[in-house]
Amino acid sequence: MARILNLLLLVLFPVAWFAPLLRAGLLPLFGLSEISVISGLQSLWGSDVFLALLVTFFALFAPYVKTLGLALVQFHLLDRRALPVLTVLGKLAMADIFLIALYIVLAKGIGLGTVEVAWGLYLFTGCILASLGLSLAEKRQRLSGKKNGDDTASPPLSVS
Sign of the torsion formed by the C-alpha atoms of 150, 151, 153 and 156: negative
Report pTM.
Answer: 0.76
35 vs 21: CA distance, rounded Å: 6
Beta strand 33-35 with 114-117 is unpaired
Digits of tens for pLDDT over the chain (160 positions)?
889 999 999 999 999 999 998 888 765 555 678 888 888 888 888 888 888 888 888 888 988 999 999 999 999 999 988 888 888 888 887 766 666 766 666 666 666 677 788 999 899 889 988 988 888 888 788 778 765 555 444 444 444 3
Instruction: Find, among 155, 119, 134, 137, the residue nearest to 6 by Cα.
Output: 134
Looking at residue 155, what DSSP letter applies?
P
111 vs 96: CA distance, rounded Å: 23
The type of residue at 63 is P
Residue ranges of the domains in the chain? 2-25+34-147
